[in-house]
Amino acid sequence: MVMLSTRAETGRRSIRAVQPTAPSDLLGHTRHAAQVRPTLSATPTARLVPLMTPKARHDDLTKFAGQPRADWWAELPELGSRALTLRELRPSDAAALVRVLRSPAVERYLSPGPATLDEASSFIGWTHRAREAGRYLGFGVVPNGGTEPVGLFQIWPLEPTFRTAEWGFALAHSFWGPGLFGQSARLVADFAFDTLGAARIEARAAAENDRGNAALRKLGFEQEGRLRRCFECTGGVVRDHLLWSLLDDDWQRVRATV
């Protein structure tokens, strides 16, 4: 339905691998283990280069240790609705990711996504390492009856914990519409507030992205400002962004209507 720009780094800096121990200072824990089905995805062992990585200091990835692997940072749960499943990206998703993110309609307001299978595989490998470090979550959107993702939701912290987090998302053009997006957004927002312990979610969308901004407003986000000439999109176009926020109290008030 919409395309949201994420704060992304397109530089090819590698991220040092971390031991798969649970982050020690994250807020929240998986409170609904009985309702979600965990799934382990194989993490490639090769040294990979991050692509489309959210703007967080890479040295943050090595700071968390001290608890057993017992929660989402060890294995991302699958979240489901009547129409879709949200799951971690898999190495086999590389081709689908390229198709979704390099579609002209989708990438118009995004930073350039992976253009080759190797680049997509590198990005998927990075998402696993960053998730194990407790610094990032990426959910592939898989329609029920399908096997490949047709979209991506990402969440990353803007503080040392997820108390304030940012999200971004993209859906294949053929799936733009209220159903798939609305159900995905509700699952991700519930997960962010109930499991990650977020109190505030931020989102940014290009000022010209009418669909993206309308979708955020419908979800209960409030516009807080305009960030002038802050983001270079595909094709070298520099755009203003609108900054939106959704508080946990806001979500409790509007979630039943989403």
- Work out the mean pLDDT of the chain and round it to a whole number: 75
Please state the rounded mean pLDDT for residues 164-181: 86
Contact 243, 208 (CB under 8 A): no
**Which one is predicted more confidently, 199 or 66?**
199
214 band by pLDDT with thresholds 50, 70 and 90? very high
| Residue 78 neighbours by CB distance under 10 Å | 15
Please state the rounded mean pLDDT for residues 203-222: 92
Which range has the worst mean pLDDT, 29-33, 101-105, 114-118?
29-33
- What is the chain's length? 258
Please state the rounded mean pLDDT for residues 229-235: 79
Residue 251 has pLDDT above 90, yes or no: yes
Report the distance separating Cα 103 and Cα 117, nearest Å: 15
Contact 84, 178 (CB under 8 A): no
Q: Give the end-to-end CA distance of the chain in Å, rounded to a whole number.
A: 14
Q: What's the pLDDT at 124?
A: 96
Q: CATH number of the domain at 75-257, out of 3.40.630.30, 3.40.50.10860, 3.30.499.10, 2.60.40.2130? A: 3.40.630.30
pLDDT in tens, 119-152: 999 999 999 999 999 999 999 999 999 999 999 9
**Sequence spans of domains, the chain:** 75-257
Q: What is the DSSP string of the chain?
A: --B----EE-S---------PBPSS-S---S-TTTSEE---PPP-S-----SEESS-GGGGG---SB-S-STTTSPEEEE-SSEEEEE--GGGHHHHHHHHTSHHHHTTS-----SHHHHHHHHHHHHHHHHTTS-EEEEEEETT-SS-SEEEEEEESSSSTTEEEEEEEE-GGG-SHHHHHHHHHHHHHIIIIIS--SEEEEEEETT-HHHHHHHHHTT-EEEEEEEEEEE-GGG-EEEEEEEEEEHHHHHHHGGG-
Residue 107 has pLDDT above 80, yes or no: no
HSE-CB for 161 with a 13 A CA cutoff: 14
The structure tokens 């979800």 sit at 219
